[in-house]
Amino acid sequence: MSVIDSAVKLVIGDLEEKKAYKQVMDRADALPEDYRFAFRKIRTYMYTVGSVEGSANMFSDLSLFTNLVELFEVSAAEGKPVLEVTGGDVDRFADELMRASAANDETLREKLNREIEEYFDGKGQE
């Protein structure tokens, strides 16, 4: 990366990240009214309180918001009311989402390997 590219990225940010963020927010805006309202309130809450685990990089990738939008899209398509998805304790729901998102990829890989290993060990296979 050239010095000019680095300077541009420093000043205006990564354009690909901004494009991806806009795409996720466009999907959120396309949700039915109740889901759209809940998404916006949860997003504001998450930005306000930050990560429950104290991770400074919680919003560095969009997986948290992408996962929330996907959950809401599927739930809306199934005709579920928003509070059936989030429960009545919406801040707890948001906190759990942030905790799950804060888990790093290595931890998820370890969990996957452990669960598969336990499954096959129970069947007497290796």
Q: Beta-carbon neighbour count of residue 101 at 10 Å? A: 21
Q: How much of the chain is helix, strand and coil, in % rounded to 5?
A: 75, 0, 25
pLDDT digit string, tens, across residues 77-111: 999 999 999 999 999 999 988 888 776 555 666 77
Scan for tokens 């989030």, then name that residue: 86
Please, are residues 108 and 74 in contact by the beta-carbon 8 Å criterion? no
Range with the poorest average pLDDT among 23-27, 74-78, 117-121 = 117-121
| CATH match for 3-122 among 1.10.1900.10, 2.60.120.200, 3.30.70.270, 1.10.3720.10 | 1.10.1900.10
Residue 6: per-residue pLDDT: 64
